[in-house]
Chain A
Amino acid sequence: MVERQSFFSFLPHLILALGILVVAFPVYVAFVASTWDPATISNGTMPLRPGPYFLENYRQTLFEGTARSSRSPVGLMMLNSLVMALTIAIGKIAISIISAFAIVYFRFPFRMTAFWVIFVTLMLPVEVRIYPTYKIVADLGLLDSYMGLTVPLIASATATLLFRQFFMTVPDELVEASKIDGAGPMQFFRDTLLPLSITTVAALFVIQFIYGWNQYLWPLLITTREGMQTIVIGIKKMIVTQDALTEWQIAMATAVLAMLPPVLVVIIMQRLFVKGLVETEK
């Protein structure tokens, strides 16, 4: 950058290329394995190039699942994951944007109490209250349902803080103008605030979709029926402790299918993703 280094200038590129290779390698291996037959994989003679079984393996994975272990079609698991990810992402955004609106644009008793009640949940991740939360969901009769899978994960301190922060930057003149025009609070919210928040909403959606799709511990506890399984849980059940029984070609096809939606979201909506990532951490 400052001095000319004609000889060593290739070095950074080399390091980066190596980094990209190392990062991509596990995924490439998984893809290759998903295109070979079980015998080639279990012999340990799998070459590093894709095999001829791509269509067959993916067809079996999507519509039939493994032949021996869990046997549920991965297509259904993907549908469950999609429902879960969308409900969590949209739910989090919806309830957080209205709570932030209430906290920023109204004055009422216990306003700051409400803010702190939401804020403190940052310190209570699912992992530290696993079984009591499970028991409540069980008592409410929500096991094995989309409700039980999503609603307990919908509360979001991060999203509420983010919207609060954004609303603070919206000029007061806009509120005054709306008031002069005779608009009520909900009209202001719908016609002025919501359109202004679109980028923030979209950035948050990208992050929360990934969060929802990748959930592991919670669905593991809440779902027992085969028909409710998500793809991230389903793959775990395909890997049998006695290795000889694991159908690796199906498991790896499932891994590729499980990575595809969130990775595509990140690559296609790169700018929103980076914005969301940076903002949710502040």
Chain B
Amino acid sequence: MEKRVVFDGKILPYALLMPQLLITIIFFYWPAAQAVWQSFLIQDAFGLSTEFVWLENYAVLFANPDYYRSMLTTLVFSTLVTVFSLSLSLLLAVQADKQIKGASGYKTFLMWPYAVAPAIAGVLWLFMFQPSLGLVAQAIRALGFDWNPQLNANHAMALVVMAATWKQISYNFLFFLAGLQSIPKSVIEAAAIDGARPVRRFWTVIFPLLSPTTFFLLVVNIVYVFFDTFGIIDSVTGGGPAQGTTTLVYKVFSDGRLGGDLGGSAAQSVVLMVLVIGLTAIQFRYIERKVQY
């Protein structure tokens, strides 16, 4: 797709692109290249000499059991958040789609959590589940369950999953509702005439037609859990207890803050870059397919 009519200009287009390109190169490409370069280097403890070591940093990283634990944590966290937030928002979107009147009202009441910062969402849930004074925590403890996210890693994980799910429901809801509203009513009526009851209609007609939206949201949600939940984890658990909620991104941050191992931290960054590139590639292949469709 190209314009037929264009302007002439030798210098002007470069001048127009300059601000964006400068920022991109200085703050995106240069640091990314440095991360790649540093991941091949080992620096001595005083930062006096560096040595080129090929893939040694990666070998060390992938021999470290902590790194696998962090991978597992990320996997558990992203699976739980994605499954809960997608299914809850689909449930709500299907109900809202049934309403001829009031659908937009419901939309208003369900979409605002999108605007809440992840770190703030974390603080809200932290307060409700704070073991000694939290409202919900007290109810749980009154039932005889020893709830303590500050000591128990599973409880901490449950807490960050709830906060991250809560924050993501509004986004998924909006996209599911838009997807549902674009399904032609005639298809559903045809299924009804064939004698399919509502539940059957949902699973055999609506759900398959909704699959492009679901797939798109799946990828977006995974990216969200990987990167945007940093604020939730930092404000709720700080990666603890005993590193029970340290995701891959959180690990890059906390390992780097302790200082020292520059090469190892860079190697972690590069692994994450490869992950994002993979996810983005999937997202775009899917979008291309949708365009043809």
List A residues at the B interface (Cβ < 8 Å). Answer: 1-3, 11-13, 15-16, 19-20, 23-24, 26-27, 29-30, 33, 41-44, 46, 48, 94-96, 98-99, 101-108, 111, 114, 117-118, 121-125, 127-133, 135-137, 151-152, 154-156, 160, 168, 172, 175-176, 179, 184-186, 188, 210, 213-214, 216-217, 220, 232-233, 235-236, 239, 243, 248, 251-252, 255, 258-259, 262-263, 265-267, 270, 273-274, 277-278, 281-282
Contact = CB atoms under 8 A, between A and B. Distances in A.
Contact of B21 (A15, A117, A267): A117
A254 to B, nearest CB: 9
Q: Is the interface of B mostly helix, strand, loop or mixed?
A: helix
Interface string B210-252: 0000001000100000110011001100000000000001001
B113 A23 contact: yes
B125 A232 contact: no
A40 B174 CA distance: 39
Counting chain A CB atoms within 10 Å of each CB, the highest count among B8, B12, B119, B230 belongs to B119
B28 interface: yes
A155 to B, nearest CB: 4
Interface in B10-57: 10, 12-14, 16-17, 19-21, 23-32, 34-35, 38
Interface of B: 1, 3-10, 12-14, 16-17, 19-21, 23-32, 34-35, 38, 88, 91-92, 95-96, 98-99, 102, 106-121, 123-128, 130, 132-135, 138, 166, 169-171, 174-175, 178, 185, 188-189, 192, 198, 216, 220, 226-227, 230-231, 234-235, 249, 252-253, 256, 262, 265-266, 269, 272-273, 276-277, 280, 287
A30 B115 contact: no
Given A151-B27, A235-B119, A123 B276 contact: yes
A26 B166 contact: yes
Nearest to B113: A23
A252 B130 CA distance: 13
B133 A44 contact: yes
A185 to B, nearest CB: 4
Contact of B5 (A168, A175, A262, A274): A175
9 contacts: A46-B135, A106-B8, A132-B30, A152-B27, A214-B115, A216-B234, A220-B234, A255-B123, A259-B115
B12 A132 contact: no
B98 A236 contact: no
Given A12-B98, A20-B109, A129 B31 contact: yes
A226 B72 CA distance: 37
A123 B269 CA distance: 12
B124 A29 contact: yes
A239 B126 contact: yes
B98 A1 contact: yes
A113 B163 CA distance: 41
A68 to B, nearest CB: 17
Nearest to B141: A44
B231 to A, nearest CB: 4
A132 B3 contact: no
Contacts of A2: 188-189, 192
A93 B200 CA distance: 46
Given A3-B192, A102-B17, A128-B272, A265 B115 contact: yes
Given A123-B280, A266-B114, A129 B120 contact: no
